[in-house]
Structure 1
Amino acid sequence: MSAPALAGTDELRAAAEHGRVCALAAQGQRELQRGLAAHPDLFGAGPFDAALASSIALAMAFSAPWCTAAQLRLSNRAVLWGFALDWQVDHETTAAADLDLLVRRQRAVAGGGPPDPADPLGGFLAELRAELAAGPGFAAVGEAWRDAVDRTLAAMGREWHWRADEHRPALTDYLANADNLACTVVNVAHWAGVGGPRAHAHLDRLVAASDAVQRALRLVNDLASYERDLRWGDLNALLLVPDRAVVEQELAAQVRRASSLIDELRPDVPREATYLARQLGYTSGFYRSTDFWGVP
């Protein structure tokens, strides 16, 4: 169904565009909720509510509004896997041996192995990988995606040990571990699904810029979720540097660095650069009022 052309005020046309993007998000939310319902062992407990599905779908729709709902399906599901992994590591894993097993299982599935029947998280990742592998971009991006999965698993495991050992890393080490935010792993999956040969040719630079965005968003998240992190026992930059002004200054520096890398990409991959810029801007605005997680 095509929308009628709107003559009139700029406000009218802007609102119509916002409505179109929200409709794209609504389609994504319905798809995500079907995914939640299909995996009750994985998403039946914890803060996996309808608002989380809506928040994920909105974030992806506003980051890549030129995509169709079908094109964003894989990206949305990649975000959901990141949330599920984060919940499993932070709130379901109580022993180092269990953490090691979880990491081994996910790495095996990312490499193409079958999931363990007792591992619902691996089962969900296997579905994601199969969809990725069926696309035309996997030959070019598959190795980078597996590397991003590995980095995400390593970062989440590292933070688990920091918390278990009551270790407070330096802020620089904490930011170096920003793959635990699971942002770049989603972006690589997104580019595998919708990025063309030009994006794949510049994938190393895109990943570097995505990592910079990820570090900035790590601090955006922390500044917004400090109270929740205290309740949940999570690490937060404000626990490492009690002076909020110092963290805000570091965030500003990280945003400048990410923006510089994005600007360098624009002549070669303008759409992918815009995607990263919109991701940074949207998420920064989102965290001013709320959080992705529901109440457990």
Structure 2
Amino acid sequence: MIASFTAGRTCALAVAGGRDLARTAARYDGLFPERSFDGGLYHSLALAGAFGSPWASPAELRAVNRASLLVFAVDRLIDEEATAREQVVSLVGECLDAAAGGAPASPVAAFVAGLRAELAAPAELEAAWRDQLERMLRAMAREWDWSRAERPPAPEEHLAGADSCGALFIGVSHWIHTGQARTRGDLDRLRPAGDAVQRYLRLLNDLATRHREARFQDVNAFTLGMSPGEVNERLAELAREATALIEPLRDAYPRAAEYLAWQIHYSAGFYGLSDFWAPEGS
């Protein structure tokens, strides 16, 4: 009965989160076109947030859900709309300016400013959040360059750039917003495990979305020459590495550690059947 109650409460959190994301997205003209951002995407993101932290309240989940939505917004703008490097550079600059408190120069920058306001973090943690946002944006821009380069990166170089998937940026936003990280030192202790989980999720995403990404000429493990067998073997290695780093965190950071462990198993189950993006033609 307790498990059923928890499942019901967690599903209710996801429903509330999906509705909040849809309302939030409607405030940013043109940033979330329906052909890519259907109701299923909002609710998929909210499900991931709710089941990753089922103890949380709807208000506590706003940052993790909105950070996830920001990752998808920037990813689409870079992958689908940017036709020149100057556009990518401009987008990165606009987002970082807004993250530092500047006046938003575009809808995506306005979304960044809104997320910054939602966090309401002290200066030390806000600086760490901006640093992680910059890592993500720079990694996304680097992938844009790689997709057009004469010499593609090596698979391990691609994995080292896993900040592009945004998983650690989402986690950092969540830990700051919910008080699981109260100092920059807390984030420094969580980062190695978060980086390992992020590399796992980067490769898992490559496996799950390789056919869709091929249409956009995205760089992934398969376009870089890895076979399905090699990818699965590397995923198993990364899962073991991440687990070994998560376990020592459980005493001091029980909820952050559980969040990271959940990402590995939840994502493997989710990507086994679905993807976050709306299916083509829907």
TM-score (normalised: structure 1): 0.90
Q: For residue 30 of structure 1, what is the amino acid of its counterpart?
A: R
CA gap of 1:47–1:167, structure 2 versus 1, over 3 A, is: farther
- Other-structure match for 1:252: 236
Deviations 1:151-204 (A, max 9, x none): 001100000000122532111100011011011111111111002466754210
- Other-structure match for 2:118: 131
CA distance in structure 2 between the partners assigned to 1:244 and 1:161 by the alignment: 25
CA gap of 1:196–1:217, structure 2 versus 1, over 3 A, is: closer
Deviations 1:42-92 (A, max 9, x none): 113541110000000000000000000111011111110110000001111
Deviations 1:14-42 (A, max 9, x none): 23321211111000001001012222321
**Is it true that 1:44 corresponds to 2:33 in the alignment?**
yes
- Other-structure match for 1:227: 211
Query: Is the contact between residue 191 and residue 199 of structure 1 (CA under 8 Å) also seen in structure 2?
Result: no
Quote the sequence identity (%). Answer: 45
Q: For residue 250 of structure 2, what is the amino acid of its counterpart?
A: R
Q: What is the correspondence of 1:160-175 to structure 2 with a 5 Å cutoff?
A: 160-175=144-159
- Other-structure match for 1:96: 85
CA distance in structure 1 between the partners assigned to 2:140 and 2:180 by the alignment: 30
How many equivalent pairs are there? 280
**Is it true that 1:16 corresponds to 2:9 in the alignment?**
no
CA gap of 1:168–1:61, structure 2 versus 1, over 3 A, is: same
CA distance in structure 2 between the partners assigned to 1:60 and 1:276 by the alignment: 12
Q: CA deviation at 1:223?
A: 1.1
- Other-structure match for 1:4: none
CA distance in structure 2 between the partners assigned to 1:73 and 1:183 by the alignment: 16
Q: What is the correspondence of 1:195-214 to structure 2 with a 5 Å cutoff?
A: 195-196=179-180, 201-214=185-198
Q: CA deviation at 1:104?
A: 1.1
Q: For residue 173 of structure 2, what is the amino acid of its counterpart?
A: A
Query: Is the contact between residue 141 and residue 188 of structure 1 (CA under 8 Å) also seen in structure 2?
Result: no
Q: CA deviation at 1:224?
A: 1.2
Q: Which runs of 5+ in 1 are unaligned?
A: 1-11
Q: What is the correspondence of 1:6-85 to structure 2 with a 5 Å cutoff?
A: 12-85=1-74
Query: Is the contact between residue 14 and residue 46 of structure 2 (CA under 8 Å) also seen in structure 1?
Result: yes
CA distance in structure 1 between the partners assigned to 2:268 and 2:181 by the alignment: 30
CA distance in structure 1 between the partners assigned to 2:99 and 2:169 by the alignment: 12
CA gap of 1:222–1:282, structure 2 versus 1, over 3 A, is: same
CA gap of 1:139–1:129, structure 2 versus 1, over 3 A, is: same
CA gap of 1:18–1:200, structure 2 versus 1, over 3 A, is: farther
Instruction: Point out the more displaced range, 206-215 or 160-169.
Output: 160-169
Query: Is the contact between residue 132 and residue 138 of structure 1 (CA under 8 Å) also seen in structure 2?
Result: no
Q: CA deviation at 1:225?
A: 1.2
CA distance in structure 2 between the partners assigned to 1:261 and 1:236 by the alignment: 25
CA distance in structure 2 between the partners assigned to 1:40 and 1:104 by the alignment: 20
Deviations 1:89-134 (A, max 9, x none): 1111000111111111111111121111xx110011111112212x
Query: Is the contact between residue 125 and residue 182 of structure 2 (CA under 8 Å) also seen in structure 1?
Result: no
Q: Which runs of 5+ in 2 are unaligned?
A: none
Deviations 1:227-269 (A, max 9, x none): 1112232122112134211111111111111111101211221
Q: For residue 139 of structure 1, what is the amino acid of its counterpart?
A: A
CA gap of 1:265–1:199, structure 2 versus 1, over 3 A, is: farther
Q: For residue 259 of structure 1, what is the amino acid of its counterpart?
A: T
- Other-structure match for 2:101: 112
- Other-structure match for 1:144: 128
TM-score (normalised: structure 2): 0.95
CA-based RMSD: 1.5
Instruction: Point out the more displaced range, 50-59 or 240-249.
Output: 240-249
Q: What is the correspondence of 1:264-275 to structure 2 with a 5 Å cutoff?
A: 264-275=248-259
- Other-structure match for 1:7: none
- Other-structure match for 1:217: 201
CA distance in structure 1 between the partners assigned to 2:87 and 2:159 by the alignment: 25
CA distance in structure 2 between the partners assigned to 1:201 and 1:154 by the alignment: 23
